[in-house]
């Protein structure tokens, strides 16, 4: 039981959504809904009035949208945690990723559009993320990462190199990156710094709804030096390319030619599962060709596989607590002995390059 209740402000232009969200949150004795707001401008006023711990923020609203409102709030009240409540659309996904890069803690996807009367189906997830934001968020790093993003994103876009579409079926090494809560912003710090001539295939496993992964892959592809796409069944791993695991499937690699398969079993808490992907790559290529990377996220997905990779002679890298938005997955890998190298997020790209170039 928490020492005090978590004060939550609900922001949504739909009266129905405000009502449903309030009903969901009132089922938990550790949460207090201190107020509601009908648009982004109203949200700024209500934050001043109620001083909430956490804000649930709709994205598409009149007068002032959620993204703009969020930036005003975080600039004035940097300790408040914001959870975006977004629609399962391509536009909703893109705005959500931008919000995460600018300092939002996490997001929850509405199950059926902007006005989702069935929001109750994700009620448990909303409550869980509010509590996680209040108890476990790395507030300092969220602020620092947002500042780094604002400074670097335009530079990265301007310096974007033309992606060389050469085919190289001889995969030298495979880098498998596992990440969950806080992942989109963290990946935007790491992946753009991987060079276009990287002699490794890069597999990214981000816990994310199925309708979001394609938009996220496109967003990564625009700012990265290596081409990145949502993985498809039948793709073959190539050096200097990135493959984002699609939501709702596992990504496994079969055969020495690196053929990607996307099974839907076994059913696990997270699909794709970091453990399943890392183990399939390890079984296919052997430890000396694998680099395992585990970043921010709650739970322990990937920790056991990191131990196996390290024991088999692979190189393993975990994100340090100083930058992890939620120090769950990397902590589990470290405590189990699965992390050979522990670094803050902004040093991980260089560590990946060094690991790929090592013999």
Give me the chain's average pLDDT, please.
Answer: 88
Q: Which residue has the higher pLDDT, 68 or 277?
A: 277
Evaluate whether residue 152 is within a structural domain: no
195 and 314 in a single domain? The answer is: yes
Question: How far is residue 139 from each of residues 146, 321, 324, measured CA to CA in Å?
Answer: 11, 12, 10
309 and 231 in a single domain? The answer is: yes
| Percentage of the residues of the chain whose pLDDT score is greater than 90 | 65
Q: Are 290 and 313 in contact (CB under 8 A)?
A: no
* SS3 assignment, position 214: helix
224 and 353 in a single domain? The answer is: yes
- Which of 169-173, 250-254, 269-273, 338-342 has the least mean pLDDT? 169-173
133 and 176 in a single domain? The answer is: no
Q: Are 261 and 282 in contact (CB under 8 A)?
A: no
Evaluate whether residue 160 is within a structural domain: no
Hey, which of 64-73, 137-146, 172-181 has the most confident mean pLDDT?
172-181
**How far from chain centre, in Å, is Cα 31?**
25
Domain count, the chain: 2
Q: Which residue has the higher pLDDT, 101 or 347?
A: 347
Catalytic residue among 207, 250, 300, 320: 207
The confidence band for 234, taking pLDDT boundaries of 50, 70 and 90, is: very high
206 and 346 in a single domain? The answer is: yes
Output the pLDDT for position 85. 87
In DSSP terms, which residues pair with 7 in a beta bridge?
32
Output the pLDDT for position 154. 45
Question: Which tens digits make up the pLDDT trace of 30-59?
Answer: 999 999 999 999 999 999 999 999 999 998
45 and 90 in a single domain? The answer is: yes
Catalytic residue among 69, 180, 215, 273: 180
Q: Long-range contacts made by residues 139-145, C-beta under 8 angstroms, separation at least 24? A: 139/78, 139/79, 139/81, 141/322, 141/323, 141/324, 141/325, 142/103, 142/105, 142/325, 143/74, 143/78, 143/103, 144/323, 145/101, 145/103, 145/185, 145/186, 145/189, 145/323, 145/345
**How far from chain centre, in Å, is Cα 319?**
13
Output the pLDDT for position 139. 61
Catalytic residue among 250, 301, 320, 345: 301
The confidence band for 164, taking pLDDT boundaries of 50, 70 and 90, is: very low
Which residue range is the domain that position 221 belongs to?
170-357
Which ranges constitute the DSSP H helices of 191-273? 210-223
286: left (phi over 0), alpha (psi -120 to 50) or beta: left
| Percentage of the residues of the chain whose pLDDT score is greater than 70 | 87
pTM for this predicted structure? 0.84
Question: Which tens digits make up the pLDDT trace of 214-232?
Answer: 999 999 999 999 999 999 9
Active site residue 207: yes
């Amino acid at each position: 039981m928490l020492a005090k209740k978590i004060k939550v402000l609900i922001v949504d232009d739909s009266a129905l959504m405000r009502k449903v969200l309030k009903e969901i949150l009132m089922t938990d004795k550790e949460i207090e809904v201190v107020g509601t707001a009908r648009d982004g401008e109203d949200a700024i006023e209500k934050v001043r009035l109620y001083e909430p711990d956490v804000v649930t923020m709709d994205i598409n609203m009149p007068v002032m949208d959620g993204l703009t409102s969020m930036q005003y709030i975080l600039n004035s009240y940097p300790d408040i945690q914001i959870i975006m409540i977004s629609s399962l659309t391509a536009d909703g996904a893109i705005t959500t990723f931008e919000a995460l890069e600018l300092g939002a803690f996490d997001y929850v996807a509405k199950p059926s559009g902007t006005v989702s009367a069935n929001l109750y189906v994700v009620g448990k997830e909303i409550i869980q993320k509010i509590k996680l934001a209040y108890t476990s968020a790395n507030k300092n790093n969220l602020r620092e990462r947002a500042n780094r993003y604002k400074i670097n994103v335009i530079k990265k876009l301007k310096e974007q190199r033309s992606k060389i579409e050469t085919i190289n079926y001889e995969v030298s090494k495979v880098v498998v990156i596992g990440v969950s809560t806080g992942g989109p912003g963290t990946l935007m710090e790491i992946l753009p710094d991987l060079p276009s001539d990287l002699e490794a295939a890069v597999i990214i496993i981000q816990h994310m709804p199925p309708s979001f992964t394609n938009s996220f892959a496109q967003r990564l592809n625009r700012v990265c030096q290596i081409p990145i796409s949502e993985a498809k069944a039948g793709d073959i791993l190539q050096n200097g390319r990135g493959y984002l695991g699609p939501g709702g499937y596992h990504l496994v690699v079969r055969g020495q030619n690196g053929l990607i398969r996307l099974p839907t079993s076994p059913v696990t808490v997270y699909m794709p599962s970091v453990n399943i992907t890392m183990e399939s790559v390890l079984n296919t290529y052997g430890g000396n060709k694998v680099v395992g990377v585990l970043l921010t996220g709650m739970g322990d997905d990937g920790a056991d596989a990191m131990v196996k990779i390290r024991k088999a002679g692979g190189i393993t890298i975990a994100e340090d607590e100083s930058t992890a938005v939620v120090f769950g997955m990397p902590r589990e890998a470290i405590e189990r002995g699965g992390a050979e190298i522990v670094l803050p997020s902004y040093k991980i790209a260089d560590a990946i390059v060094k690991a790929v170039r090592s013999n």
